[in-house]
Structure 1
Amino acid sequence: MKLLTPKYLFLIPAISLCSCFKQYKDKVNIDGSSSVYLLTEAVAEEFRKIEPDIRITVGISGTGGGFKKFLRGETDISDASRPITKSELEISRSNGIQFIEIPVSYDGMAIVVSPKNDFVDYLTVEELKKMWSPESQGKINTWKQIRDSWPNVPLNLYGAGTSSGTYDYFTEAINGKAKSSRGDYTASEDDNVLVQGVSSDKNGLGYFGLAYYSENKSKLKLIPVKVTADAQAVYPTEITVQNGTYQPLSRPEFIYVNAKSATKPAVKKFIQFYMKNATVLAKEVGYVPLPPEVYELSHSRFKTLKTGSVFENKSIVGVNLLQLLSEK
């Protein structure tokens, strides 16, 4: 099974242009998270093989950018690497946009440095907070300031842009509050830009979804994380992400379906295909599949048009999806 990987992203405009000359019977418009894009595009690519007369377009505006379009009614489905926020919920109600929330995979957030970095063996959550907290801006500028045994060389940071769900989750998990972060770092909603930045910077450190590390292993060095200084250092893997031992940087990822769009035959077919194939395709693109029971509960929510977010007024850090969905 050949999937569209990040290195082929430059082909998207050409593919989209060519598809304009074909007459389609129906279409499904998707936009949002660059992290979830990998899985949704893999699903879309396989779906196109069995439903060539349905046009599936998948954009990468970031989670926040995708929600803006979704809440204006411009897209059928929004990819999101975090749950919908309180302010976005208010917009959805004001605009009369109802939605169905569907978890589609787990992702471990990868902490990476350049392979040329020979001194970082692990990082603690407290050290990550020291790097990324708002109070560190203009004050914490070298690796030695993070750990005294490290060299006195510049600390160059690379991370998600402020419209990214990865940014929201990372800042909440590490700094204790979503969107609370220092601002003097190289930011991008495109994870491929961050991969390129860190891989070519001996003094760089970055974070992004595990799938992007998996696609670029030869260019990056993965760093394990300790919850506390005396805890065991844990790498993000399929096992540690799924069983929750890679904390606090394991997270679920989502698609949101417009409730009106959910009644369309093309969207119904696509979501059914998504739920049936997410387990296999999540592994193919470097993500961790959800337990089968979670996919079953999510598909049931879609079929019964169960709208709203199970995360309203709840933190996503350390969440148990099976328990949460069973309660709702």
Structure 2
Amino acid sequence: MKKWKYLTVTAVLGSALLLGACGSDTETEDTTTGNDTVETADSGDAQLTGSISGDGSSTVAPITEGLVEEYGAVQPDVKVSVGVSGTGGGFEKFIAGETDFSNASRPIKDEEKAELEKAGIDYTEFQVAFDGLTVVVNPENDWATELTVDQLKQLWIENGSTKKWSDIDPSWPDEEIVFYSPGTDSGTYDYFDEVILDGSDLVKSATLSEDDNVLVQGVASDKNAIGFFGFAYYLENQDKLTAVSVNGVAPTNETIESGEYTPLSRPLFVYAKNSALKENEAFYDFMKFTLEHAGEMAEAVGYVKLPDEKYDEGLSTLESLK
């Protein structure tokens, strides 16, 4: 699993934890053997045990992985396991009842809603951050650093022929384009399909992978390569990739949050099983921790936080489900 840089959020959350620990000179413990919880007066939080399982989007994964690491400092006896099988793959496990939550880089589809209803699984959607789907080229590519949406369509939609850069612009190199794309289980693929492909087929020559690091390495190693994935993966590898401006707008925190980076700005989600929130105290606590700290973690790993009121709305919704 890829290691992410948590320095900013670790400092923020670590300071909060330290202040909480120092907030009282008196510590009292109330141990309840029936549910193995220990409540401390200085923090006001119960020490919990239990297990939580999630799966889904590789785009949302850096946020969740960071939160899991930080949550372990608060609740060390709660085991949180998170798989990364893509948004579609995560929903399949969620529908099968294998997970408590599902990360998604697109809204849930109508057919997935129907399958969950059929399975008797009630769920709640929580938005956790914004992302800008980022188109990237090799740093040696100095001709295709600014593309229009129409040019992206020309590039990525299958037309039955081998594509060359000169097909897009006669002044560009007469060399074959090498494509790298997230796999079809990825919410990133689904989103690109919706806003760029318009439901048409992706170029058949593209290398598909659910592992964004494979896409990064592919584009970084070939001057004729082009790919796309979440903004955080670009930031983590910006020393070996060039981000493409779309319709004259480069992906940045500011343009993603404002919506100026259109149509490739998008929200990121966590879908939680309602019954698990009610029955598993550790899961409820983890989701509360997630909504309280997702903004800091999103920015720490390269995404864009939501307005504070959106997290407050999520916390109010969560509380109503307890």
Asked if these proteins are the same fold (TM beyond 0.5), I'd say yes
CA deviation profile, 1:142-165 (whole Å, cap 9, x unmatched): 011011221111111111110000
- TM-score after normalising by structure 1: 0.82
Residue of structure 1 in register with 2:34 after alignment? none
Residue of structure 2 in register with 1:114 after alignment? 138
| Alignment-mate amino acid for residue 254 of structure 1 | F
Residue of structure 1 in register with 2:283 after alignment? 267
Q: Structure 2 matches for 1:9-20, cutoff 5 A? A: none
Residue of structure 2 in register with 1:277 after alignment? 293
Tell me the secondary structure at the aligned position of residue 269 of structure 2: strand
| Alignment-mate amino acid for residue 40 of structure 1 | T
Q: Structure 2 matches for 1:182-193, cutoff 5 A? A: 182-193=203-214
The Cα of 1:26 is off from its aligned counterpart by 0.1
Tell me the secondary structure at the aligned position of residue 201 of structure 1: coil
The Cα of 1:25 is off from its aligned counterpart by 2.5
| Alignment-mate amino acid for residue 251 of structure 2 | P
Q: Does 1:39 align with 2:63?
A: yes
The Cα of 1:115 is off from its aligned counterpart by 0.9
Tell me the secondary structure at the aligned position of residue 145 of structure 1: helix
Tell me the secondary structure at the aligned position of residue 317 of structure 2: helix
Q: Structure 2 matches for 1:230-249, cutoff 5 A? A: 233-249=248-264
Residue of structure 1 in register with 2:110 after alignment? 86
CA RMSD, 1 decimal: 1.6
Tell me the secondary structure at the aligned position of residue 54 of structure 2: strand
| Equivalent residue for 2:154, pick from 125, 130, 141 | 130
Tell me the secondary structure at the aligned position of residue 155 of structure 2: helix
1:4–1:42 CA contact under 8 A, matched in 2: no
Tell me the secondary structure at the aligned position of residue 60 of structure 2: helix
Q: Does 1:258 align with 2:258?
A: no
| Equivalent residue for 1:169, pick from 191, 203, 209 | 191
The Cα of 1:201 is off from its aligned counterpart by 0.9
The Cα of 1:87 is off from its aligned counterpart by 1.1
Tell me the secondary structure at the aligned position of residue 240 of structure 1: helix
Q: Does 1:300 align with 2:321?
A: no
Residue of structure 1 in register with 2:93 after alignment? 69
- The whole-number CA distance in structure 2 between the counterparts of 1:101 and 1:140 is 41
The Cα of 1:175 is off from its aligned counterpart by 2.0
| Alignment-mate amino acid for residue 153 of structure 2 | K
1:80–1:256 CA contact under 8 A, matched in 2: yes
| Alignment-mate amino acid for residue 101 of structure 2 | I
Residue of structure 1 in register with 2:233 after alignment? 212
The Cα of 1:183 is off from its aligned counterpart by 3.0
- Gaps of at least 5 residues in structure 1 are 7-23, 227-232, 307-328
- Gaps of at least 5 residues in structure 2 are 6-47
- The whole-number CA distance in structure 1 between the counterparts of 2:3 and 2:76 is 17
The Cα of 1:299 is off from its aligned counterpart by 2.0
Q: Structure 2 matches for 1:135-154, cutoff 5 A? A: 136=159, 138-139=160-161, 141-154=163-176
Residue of structure 2 in register with 1:20 after alignment? none
> Which of 1 and 2 has greater Rg?
2
The Cα of 1:140 is off from its aligned counterpart by 5.0
1:131–1:140 CA contact under 8 A, matched in 2: no
Tell me the secondary structure at the aligned position of residue 82 of structure 1: coil
**Distance 1:253-1:142 versus aligned 2 partners, 3 A rule:** same
Tell me the secondary structure at the aligned position of residue 164 of structure 2: coil
The Cα of 1:131 is off from its aligned counterpart by 1.1
Q: For structure 1, which segment, 246-255 or 180-189, has the greater mean C-alpha deviation from structure 2 after superposition?
A: 180-189
- The whole-number CA distance in structure 2 between the counterparts of 1:118 and 1:250 is 24
Tell me the secondary structure at the aligned position of residue 208 of structure 2: strand
Tell me the secondary structure at the aligned position of residue 128 of structure 2: strand
- The whole-number CA distance in structure 1 between the counterparts of 2:284 and 2:157 is 43
CA deviation profile, 1:165-201 (whole Å, cap 9, x unmatched): 0000011111223x74333201111101100100001
The Cα of 1:70 is off from its aligned counterpart by 0.6
Q: Percent of aligned positions with the same letter in both sequences?
A: 45
